[in-house]
Amino acid sequence: MESASLYEKLGGEEVIAKVVDEFYKRVLADDTVNSFFVKTDMEKQRSHQTKFISFALGGPNQYTGKSMAKAHEGMNLQPAHFQAIAKHLNDTLVFFGVDEADVRTVLTHIGSLKDDVLFK
């Protein structure tokens, strides 16, 4: 029997959208990273991020956005910014009761994107 994807385990796109909403509440309250979102259409960002995370966790591929490198071009993100975002994602997943092994899996996947977003 095939094991469920993280997308399925978390409850699909509807639940992931709630996770994304909580994640951005945390991000926008954090002075370490909130300045990167000052001119961002957050409704569009939330929708986009929900599709990206859904796909990254094994859901349907509805993501049609830019590559990670292209999306972060000109932002000059530093390791402290990446760590803040990863911490907010970790804390959000824990808040939603995601088990520790699955949180580690998600963070490992996000960590693999580090070279595509830092120092661009």
CB distance 27 to 83 below 8 Å: no
Q: For residue 89, which amino acid is it? A: L
User: Distance between CA atoms of 78 and 50, rounded to whole angstroms?
Assistant: 24
Q: Please indicate if the annotation marks 81 as binding a ligand.
A: no
- Rounded CA-CA distance 33/67 in Å is 20
Dig out the tokens for 12 from the structure. 């699909």
Please give the Cα distance from 59 to 54 (Å, whole number).
Answer: 5
Is 72 labeled as ligand-binding?
yes
CA distance 70 to 85: 18
Question: What tokens were used for 51?
Answer: 């599709």
- Binding site, annotated residues: 48, 72
- Binding site, annotated residues for heme: 48, 72
